[in-house]
A and B are shown apart, each in its own frame.
Chain A
Amino acid sequence: MTITQDGARSSVDHSSEKRGMNLTLRVWRQNGPTAKGKMVTYKVTDISPDMSFLEMLDVLNEQLIMEGDDPVAFDHDCREGICGMCGVMINGQAHGPQQTTTCQLHMRSFKDGDTIDIEPWRASPFPVIKDLAVDRRAFDRIIQAGGYISVPTGTAPEAHSILVPKKDSDAAFDAATCIGCGACVAACPNASSMLFTAAKVTHLGLMPQGQPERNDRVVNMVAQQDREGFGGCTNIGECSAACPKGISMETISRLNHDLLGALRAGARPKS
């Protein structure tokens, strides 16, 4: 077998391709956590519709660096929609007009000549580090308050030794797809972290391994999200509509159900 050089791709006739888009970006620039921020307008040209939103921001940053300007700070890591690092408000919607992560949003969702507003997640528990990058460690502290199961580590046990009904494992898995990106908080009119916490409570609460700590988990995680300064849930549904993983409002009802049961059983949050 011979491996041919990929010459075919470069021989494609580009003249028939649609020309790239010219866009006006209004980007939130903020020098540091305590600095005052403002929207700054930039132009980018010849943006391919096949670029991801982050690649478009890379183009902007290269342009800014060449001009001797400070590049726009934004968070990102895997760029394949599974790590939860990226996320900005795009035209007033968390992760933009498609229900996906910012890295998986493509520029074909926009038209030539569009103006795009780009802002960081806004919530006091998510302070801006710089520009579009926010500190989401409040989520880590909610997880530390109860989003785990205590098991001895060692060799992985036989998977079939504890049976889990298919219905439960499916629902638990749906909730476990939460990547902790923070879009729920960003989209919520109350800046509530309820969907995030509810996804964790649902995911662990449906599994047999999650039962021993189930009551303490829910009271401590709810207490921690209040302590962090998130708002309260008013069941509006903006969170679920913005969630790149489509975590449902059902998880919130389940959290409330678990919390009521836990309080009745006498569980109280650790102070």
Chain B
Amino acid sequence: MFRVVTVTDQVQRRTPKQAKTSSVFKKIVMAVSGILMLLFLIAHMIGNLHVFQGAQSFNHYSEWLRTVGEPALPPRTLLTVIEIGLVVSVVAHMWAAISLWRQAKRARPQSYVTKKSVAQSYASRTMRWGGVIIALFIVYHILDLTFGVANPDGTDSTPYDRLVASFQNPAATIVYVVALILLGMHLRHGIWSATQTLGQSNRRRERTVNAFAIAFATLLIAGYLVVPAAVVFGLVD
């Protein structure tokens, strides 16, 4: 005969490590810090377009950012405020992301043998590793164009010279383009996700929010990519 299967009622459960902060609170931190960084990205993109007005205009803009408000305000007031805001946003964004990443790992210690995604966009799939790559790119980007230590023209050059020198190097240009496309995808999912997290989406708005996210990310990244394109095609030198 066959054996009788006994289903145990008291399943041995490993007590899950309790999340100290609400997962939704972490998402709110992620959404708000993301929006702050997004506002910076808009300003940064518009600032970059000074390159089309020539070297003088571009360098002057850079100088203006450092001296705006003088003598009423001390030098670098605006930049310092932006820098503090950005550092706080980056740290908060990464803290929320890493702790949610760990929570997700703990929630599924054993992965599926076969798993098929039906709704997941490529953008949403690449949020975590994409975010890591974008963070690494930002470090390089600052060393290259702000400090000049990673720039072919070195530290004694003008911002305009550093920009042209960097984009005349094919490797640096490719890194820039890839990172910016990743950033665009990050924003495409991020804008939609932040709308959901802040409770501003609904069935009627869902399509509009997603369409806006795609259009906004595409336009913003296009605004960034016209600069290396102009250097590569010799419009700016």
How many pairs, one residue from A and one from B, have CB atoms within 8 Å of each other in the complex? 173
Interface residues of B in 161-218 (CB under 8 A from A): 189, 192-193, 195-203, 206
A34 to B, closest residue via Cβ: B12
| Known interface pairs A190-B100, A249-B201; A92-B114 also in contact (CB < 8 Å) | yes
Q: Is the CB–CB distance between B23 and A232 below 8 Å? A: yes
Q: How many residues of chain B are within 8 Å of chain A by beta carbon?
A: 55
Is B16 in the interface zone, CB < 8 Å from A? Answer: yes
* CB-defined contacts of B110 to chain A, threshold 8 Å: 122
* CB-defined contacts of B24 to chain A, threshold 8 Å: 222, 232-233, 255-256, 259
Q: Is the CB–CB distance between A231 and B113 below 8 Å? A: no
Give A70 to B3 CA distance when docked, in angstroms. 7
| Known interface pairs A189-B104, A230-B107, A260-B199; A93-B11 also in contact (CB < 8 Å) | no
Residues of A within 8 A of B (CB): 26, 28, 32-34, 39, 65, 68-71, 73, 89, 91-93, 117, 119, 122-125, 127, 129-130, 133, 135, 189-192, 222-223, 225-238, 240-242, 248-250, 252-260, 263, 269
Chain B proximity of A96: nearest CB distance (Å): 10
Give A254 to B27 CA distance when docked, in angstroms. 14
**Can you add 18 more A-B contacts, CB < 8 Å, to A33-B12, A233-B23, A234-B27?**
A70-B2, A122-B112, A124-B106, A124-B109, A127-B12, A129-B11, A189-B120, A192-B107, A222-B22, A226-B22, A231-B23, A231-B104, A234-B100, A240-B119, A242-B118, A253-B196, A255-B199, A256-B199
| Known interface pairs A33-B12, A233-B23, A248-B203; A256-B198 also in contact (CB < 8 Å) | yes
Interface residues of B in 107-154 (CB under 8 A from A): 107-121, 124-125, 127
Give A269 to B121 CA distance when docked, in angstroms. 34
A-B contact pairs, 14 of them (CB 8 A): A73-B5, A91-B114, A92-B112, A93-B118, A117-B113, A189-B125, A191-B108, A226-B18, A233-B27, A236-B124, A253-B199, A253-B202, A258-B199, A260-B199
Q: Is the CB–CB distance between A222 and B23 below 8 Å? A: yes
Q: Is the CB–CB distance between A70 and B198 below 8 Å? A: no
Q: Majority SS of interface residues in chain B?
A: loop
* CB-defined contacts of B200 to chain A, threshold 8 Å: 253, 257
* CB-defined contacts of B8 to chain A, threshold 8 Å: 32-33, 129
Q: Is the CB–CB distance between B202 and A125 below 8 Å? A: no
B192 to A, closest residue via Cβ: A235
| Known interface pairs A231-B100, A232-B26, A234-B193; A89-B114 also in contact (CB < 8 Å) | yes
Give A184 to B14 CA distance when docked, in angstroms. 22
Is B39 in the interface zone, CB < 8 Å from A? Answer: no
Is B84 in the interface zone, CB < 8 Å from A? Answer: no
